[in-house]
A and B are shown apart, each in its own frame.
Chain A
Amino acid sequence: MRVAGSAILVAAVVLCLRTAAVPVLADGDRPISLIALPPEAGETAHESVVLSAQIESDEGPVGGLSVNFYIVTTVFGERLMKVGEALSDASGTVSVVYRPTWTGDHTVVAHFDGASGYAAAETSFHFDAQVAESAFEPADFGLNPIRRVLPFAVGMAVLVVWASLGFALVNTAMGIRSAARAAPVPSPVQASTYPVFIPPPPVAQDQTARRLAMVVALLVVVAGVPLIWFTLNVSDRGHETGVVADGLIPGDHHTEPVAGQPLPATLVRSVQTVKFDENGQPTSGSVPIPADLAITAGRVRILDSTGGRIVTVAPDGELIPIQQGRGVDGTSLKGSPAMSSLGERLFVVSARGDRIVVVDESGLIEGSIVPSLPAGQNPVAVTGIALSDTGRIWLSDAANHRVLLLNGRGEFELVIGEGVASSSDQGFDTPTGLAVDEDGNLYVSDTGNRVVKKYSSLGILLQVIGEGRLETPQGVTVNAAGRIFVSDTAARQVSVFAPDGSHLGSITDPNLEEPHIVRTDGDDLYVLDSLAGMLVFRVLEAQVSVP
């Protein structure tokens, strides 16, 4: 009773009644107090309790005030469980009915927070939950008598069957022996029944059969070797998991891409994006699902789409979050699938393509570009974004098999694609990664068609790259020399093509597991791998010479 005019709350229960006095923070010149009322006999049944309180000020009872009642739970630490809210009547009385769900001591907290003041009160009572109303309905597991009887019935049937079989076998064996004893005639075999066997005359080995045999033997050798090779050739693990082919549709059988010669590349750096502290817990910088990677001003940024943030990869491999939470306008990067850089800025596109968040080099959200698109062109699943030097924005929409071009203000300029999966010049089947070269040409990783397509900035197809060389092209990037790097997720490699589209080779490092994003920075090739994290390769110019 710290303050004059105390508030008292009473929990009226059947078995036990305790009261506690709790202060009320009075509102200026109009002090208010809560006074508890004892319950009337018979007011409570065995399954419920009336929690009641009375609000009084110096001038008497106060009506029309809202009071919340809570029970303290301890299942996960002390937590307040709201059980009801009621308004005080003209006599200042507030009461709610509470149906306890467990046996034991209950601590009640009443809370009043209004324009006229703030008050919290606490008391406790004991409740014996004989008819506790719990949501838990223990199931009678053996509700089904068949399942009780079945094992015994089946067991007996099985035993009878085994017994009959055993009987037949044992009886035959023993019977033959005893029958033999009963007939003492020592005949080797009854000649009258069994005429003496004369081996059949040897079949003339005719030449056609012999020749046929040789042909078959030859077939064995010709067919057997590839057969063994065929089965031996599956050991590259991860390969099979990467490709989940569609249902058994005729003509849908994937053809294996032609393997390119391995391209020498040195792994210069490897950063696992999920890190653990000494307790085995992931560190705050951990990125469980790295979505995209960009390099601005020499810094490597990784988009963490689950965390809704951008992290910088420090030179020592540590991941430092530079952008978390929401921008001033409430935008979040959560769920964003891709980002691109232009100058110092990062452009992060949302999954539905309805917002492109612009992040500056320090991680602050500068603002958003909201695309304005004609009806029917709204993307459903954006998988890639690329910016030209002039600030025009390309977006790939994997679900609608389209690629959209917006200007710097987000206004619609151009669309490539037919809205359905297609393998035509102006069509895609699940376009994913995008890249723009220095001339403003666009490279689209057409995953379903297993090629990379090159378009002019006006959307005219210039080139189809990597036909028969790619299995699941995803990320694509172009370096200053015009070389095209394509991450082939299922094939676990990064394929490299010359500017004219010829295949230079593939980087097949054992560390590559599911490479999905590629970016270049000078000689360095950054690969973002959904399992292996970030890998950096150095591909020397001399080694990438055109063969």
Chain B
Amino acid sequence: MDRPFETEAHDIRAAAVTPILQPGPLFWPLTLFLSLIVLAGAVAMFQQLMFGLGVTGLNNRVSWGFYITDMVFFIGLSYGGAVTSAILRLTNAPWRAPMVRLAEATALVTLLIGSLFPIIDLGRPDRMLNLLLHGQVGSPVLWDVVAINTYMVATVIFLFLPLIPDMAICRDHLGPAAGRLRKLLYDRLSLGWRGTPGEKNILERNMTVVAVVIIPLAVSVHSVLAWLFGMTVRPGWNSTIYAPYFVVGALFSGVAAVIVIIAAFRQAYHLEAFITEQHFKYLANMLLALGMAYGYFLFAEVLTEGYKMEGVSMGEGSGSLLQEMLLGRYALLFWGFVAGGLVIPIALTSLPLTRNVPGIVIAATLVVVAMWVKRFLIVVPAMATPLMPMDWGAYWPSRVEIAITLAAVAAVPLMLMLFFRIFPILSIYEMEEFAEHEELETGPEASGVAAW
């Protein structure tokens, strides 16, 4: 097939609104199931609010645990949207069009969930406003608050702009099938779009502006997250490479998450005609490159730490952080991460035999899970390292923490499923634009950046 991405306009529209009109028989049972998990998390959260953070497994030695791990993990996942959408938009890669909506929605959903975790982790969430009323700009926590909120607004705008023409299409063509509420929503969000060249021009221009802004923003968010740790003198965190290390890690897990989500929705809503195996191969290339970059960072970290025998332990009968990580109590998790998060995915995405959709999806799933483990290995061992002459700190998550984490995991597909009951799953406008340009044989260069 010489034109793997070419499709007809009609098919695009029909496929994009299928989830809105006919979500399939599995939709409601699955929604109910996921809602129950989220509800269980809400119950756990309620208990935590009632009794205090004592219901968690956290203690005075290991005072950050699952919640901070989850925060870094979910915000990291939201990078998939930034990279597959913004970077590909700026580089004007036409193949991005069928998956940008899915990627951007994933970014928004994971960011919303991830940004809840710092609040869940607070001892006094009722005093959240103190961050504004008594904020101290020198604190990494405040940097986080500012960066995450800015990034969230940018993500919403980034998702919203290409949605405007799609809203107009839904407004004009879905008819009574959409229902009253959706119709009202389409009416408002389409902003009176009629698809004249002038409107398209303005939209393209502004989408480029946001794409330009969102990349440094995304980099800043994870740098700041890294500095939450890097601004302390704890062994393991006291590192200068933490910011880029975190950014690459976030991109790595974000691309993996996008692959998993796209594969799931492609399967569920039969989008094979639009999202082809070629898409997965391109994404796998990115995953491969990022995986190697992350492996390189990991190697650089371990080598420089280990060579100098930094962080010699003070406790009796226990080694330094690095010893415990490589050979001691965290060895199984660490080598599990290296195998499941780096070696196997890199092999799966590079060997011709497994460079197909199932192989790539398995690799991506492994990366997502392994990157959670890696975040756990970043947060907890550094907290458990004895700073004073005593033994290692202990931490085992309580049921409350596990329930809330599971609820967050379940909330990602749940929120995406509900999102696509309202909004088209494919970016109709962008796909049609590319289809049109191909027909006119002006090439993809005519749109996007060139217009600005």
Chain A positions within 8 Å of B, measured between CB atoms, are: 147, 150-151, 154-155, 158, 161-162, 164-165, 167-169, 171-173, 175-177, 179-180, 182-183, 187-190, 193-200, 202-203, 205, 209-210, 212-214, 216-217, 219-220, 223-224, 227-228, 230-235, 237, 240-241, 244-250, 253-254
Contact = CB atoms under 8 A, between A and B. Distances in A.
Contact of B198 (A155, A179, A241): A179
B308 to A, nearest CB: 24
Given A171-B206, A234-B400, A165 B24 contact: no
A27 B23 CA distance: 110
B217 A161 contact: yes
A179 B210 CA distance: 21
B293 interface: no
A111 to B, nearest CB: 41
B168 interface: yes
A176 B203 contact: yes
A199 B14 contact: yes
A109 to B, nearest CB: 41
Contact of B395 (A176, A179, A248): A248
A199 B20 CA distance: 11
25 contacts: A155-B137, A161-B150, A161-B213, A165-B213, A172-B206, A176-B191, A176-B192, A179-B196, A190-B196, A196-B173, A197-B17, A197-B172, A197-B174, A199-B21, A202-B22, A209-B25, A212-B25, A212-B26, A217-B32, A219-B33, A223-B36, A227-B403, A231-B399, A235-B55, A241-B54
Interface stretch (B43-51, B73-81, B107-115, B411-419): B43-51
Interface in B329-360: 329-330, 332-333
A246 B61 CA distance: 12
A504 B400 CA distance: 32
Contact of A247 (B138, B157, B169, B392): B392
B150 A240 contact: no
A58 B23 CA distance: 116
Contacts of A248: 329-330, 333, 376, 380, 395-396
Contact of B40 (A168, A171, A189, A228): A228
Nearest to B436: A193
Nearest to A211: B25
Given A199-B14, A234-B400, A237-B54, A189 B26 contact: no
B202 interface: yes
Given A179-B198, A180-B192, A198-B10, A246 B203 contact: no
Contacts of A230: 40, 399, 403
B41 interface: yes
A210 B396 CA distance: 41
A480 to B, nearest CB: 40
B47 A188 contact: no
Given A183-B194, A183-B196, A183-B198, A154 B143 contact: yes
A195 B47 CA distance: 54
A198 B172 CA distance: 12
Contacts of B376: 248
Interface string B48-91: 00110011110100000000000000000000000000000000
B154 A165 contact: yes
Contacts of B15: 200
Given A175-B199, A213-B26, 16 more contacts: A147-B138, A175-B202, A187-B194, A193-B432, A194-B173, A197-B174, A199-B14, A203-B22, A210-B25, A212-B25, A224-B37, A227-B40, A231-B40, A231-B47, A240-B398, A247-B393
A106 to B, nearest CB: 40
A223 B406 CA distance: 13
A175 B392 CA distance: 61
B232 to A, nearest CB: 15
B261 interface: no
Contact of A158 (B13, B146, B205, B396): B146
Given A189-B194, A247-B330, A237 B24 contact: no
Instruction: Classify the interface of chain A: helix, strand, loop or mixed.
Output: helix
B334 to A, nearest CB: 11
Contacts of B205: 171
A272 B376 CA distance: 42
A83 B235 CA distance: 43
Ordered nearest first, which 6 A-B pairs have the shortest CB separation? A197-B173, A245-B396, A175-B202, A179-B198, A151-B137, A224-B36
Contacts of A172: 161, 164, 191, 202-203, 206
Nearest to A237: B51
A194 B169 contact: yes
A180 B173 contact: no
A343 B44 CA distance: 53
B206 A220 contact: no
B157 to A, nearest CB: 5
Interface in B1-35: 9-10, 13-15, 17-18, 21-22, 24-26, 28-30, 32-33
B209 interface: yes
A216 B26 CA distance: 8
B213 A220 contact: no
Contacts of B273: none
Contact of B137 (A154, A179, A182, A224): A154
A536 to B, nearest CB: 29
B123 to A, nearest CB: 15
A230 to B, nearest CB: 6
A212 B174 CA distance: 29
Contact of A188 (B161, B172, B432): B172
Contacts of B195: 189-190, 193-194
Nearest to A201: B14
A82 to B, nearest CB: 33
B286 interface: no
A264 B216 CA distance: 66
A216 B191 contact: no
Contacts of B393: 247
B129 interface: no
B281 to A, nearest CB: 28
Contacts of B157: 165, 168-169
B394 interface: yes
A16 B56 CA distance: 66
Contact of A213 (B29, B210, B396): B29
Contacts of A183: 194, 196, 198
A203 B24 CA distance: 8
Contacts of B203: 172, 175-176
Nearest to B396: A245
Contacts of A182: 196, 198
Contacts of A150: 137-138
B265 interface: no
A235 B51 contact: yes
A190 B194 contact: yes
B24 A189 contact: no
B450 interface: no
B380 A234 contact: no
B297 interface: no
Contacts of B55: 234-235, 237, 240
Contacts of A164: 209-210, 213
A223 B191 CA distance: 44
Contacts of B332: 249-250
Contacts of B33: 216, 219-220, 223-224
A209 B173 contact: no
Given A175-B202, A182-B198, A244 B394 contact: yes
Contacts of A203: 22, 24
Contacts of B153: 162, 165
A179 B25 CA distance: 43
B25 A231 contact: no
